[in-house]
Structures are given as C-alpha cells and as structure tokens.
C-alpha cells in the first residue's frame, strides 16, 4: 500500500516569505480586512503571521476606510491607532493630520507620525514635515531635516515630470 501524501503545509514557508505574501495581499486587496480574517481562520501559522507588525505596515487604509468610518467609527479609530503604532504610513499620516488640525493645532506634536509616514514613502507627508519644520524654526537641525525632505519631494517631482515628457 502506498503511503498517503499530505498536501504541503503553509507552515513550511519561511516566515519572511509568508509575511511578504500576506503584506502584498493587505496592500492590494479590495477588502483587506476580510481577506486577512479569512487567512486567520485557515491555521494557527497564518494567525501568527497575520499578527506580525510588518503586515500592518502594508494595509491599504484607503481600500476600506470610508465604509468603516461610516459604519464603525469606533472600530476605525481603534484600527487607525493600531496601524499607527506599527508604522503604517497612511495611518501615521492621518494621525498626524488629526493632531494638527483637530486636537492641538501644534505641528511639533505630530512630526513623529508624519516623519514615519514620509519614511514609508508618502511624499505629501514629507512635504508637510518640511513646511512645519521651516515654520517652527527649531534651529539648524530642523532646517537640515526640512531641506532633506524638500529635496526628496523635488527629486520625485522632477523625475515624474521627466517621465511625463518622454
């Protein structure tokens, strides 16, 4: 009698590969939270992988934020805070904006969140950090950081214009 072969388990995937796959799903899915919940239910390995902070950094908030804001505003606020803590660029940006315009009206308190959003690739956040640092006039260190962000934004703008002309 031939021994029965079991299908390969997801648990044999290296952790980094599993996280990369789940992160890609979180970034590209039309319904990322539903898809992540489905993965959680498949096995304990996927439950562990979906809980990794690297996956949270990839979640695309724009895919479900409007519906969640409308239907579950408390859940959205909790999710936004959680994703901000793991360094999701969109969440950091939105949290920083809320601090400036809703809560304190002080850009200094939100610069960390906006800087994390800029580090995650959001040039709008980089531009805002540069503006707030120049406006705050915190010294030479702030001026250097603001210039670095502005060069980054200008560099991308120039490369985008060059690509559009070609």
Domain with 71, as residue range(s), is: 12-86
Query: Please, are residues 151 and 129 in contact by the beta-carbon 8 Å criterion?
Result: no
CA angle 24/25/26 to nearest 5° reads 90
Give CA–CA dist 91/104, Å, rounded.
18
Is residue 149 a part of any domain in this protein? yes
Same domain assignment for residues 115 and 152? yes
Same domain assignment for residues 39 and 69? yes
- Determine which helix (DSSP H) or strand (DSSP E) holds 95, and give its type and residue range: helix 89-98
Choosing from 55, 86, 117, the residue where a domain stops is 86
Is residue 98 a part of any domain in this protein? no
Is residue 28 a part of any domain in this protein? yes
Same domain assignment for residues 82 and 111? no
pTM to 2 decimals?
0.65
pLDDT the model gives residue 166: 42
Summarize pLDDT for 21-56 with one digit per residue, the tens.
Answer: 888 888 888 877 788 888 878 778 888 888 888 888
pLDDT < 70: residue spans in the chain:
1-8, 66-67, 69, 103-109, 135-143, 156-166
Q: Which residues 6+ apart lie within 8 Å of 95 measured at CB?
A: 80, 81, 84, 110, 113
pLDDT the model gives residue 31: 79
Give CA–CA dist 15/119, Å, rounded.
24
Is residue 91 a part of any domain in this protein? no
């Amino acid at each position: 009698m031939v021994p029965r072969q079991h299908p390969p388990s997801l648990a044999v995937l290296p952790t980094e590969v599993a996280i990369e796959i789940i992160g890609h799903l979180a970034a590209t899915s039309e319904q990322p939270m539903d898809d992540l919940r489905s993965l959680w239910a498949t096995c304990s390995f996927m439950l562990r992988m979906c809980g990794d902070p690297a996956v949270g950094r990839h979640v695309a908030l724009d895919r479900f934020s409007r519906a969640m804001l409308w239907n579950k505003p408390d859940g959205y606020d909790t999710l936004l805070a959680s994703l901000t803590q793991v360094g999701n660029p969109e969440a950091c940006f939105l949290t920083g904006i809320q601090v400036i315009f809703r809560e304190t009206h002080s850009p200094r308190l939100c610069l960390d969140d906006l800087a994390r959003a800029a580090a995650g690739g959001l040039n709008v956040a980089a531009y805002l950090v540069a503006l707030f640092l120049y406006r705050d006039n915190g010294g030479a260190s702030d001026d250097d950081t603001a210039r670095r962000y502005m060069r980054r934004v200008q560099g991308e703008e120039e490369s985008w214009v060059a690509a559009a002309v070609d």
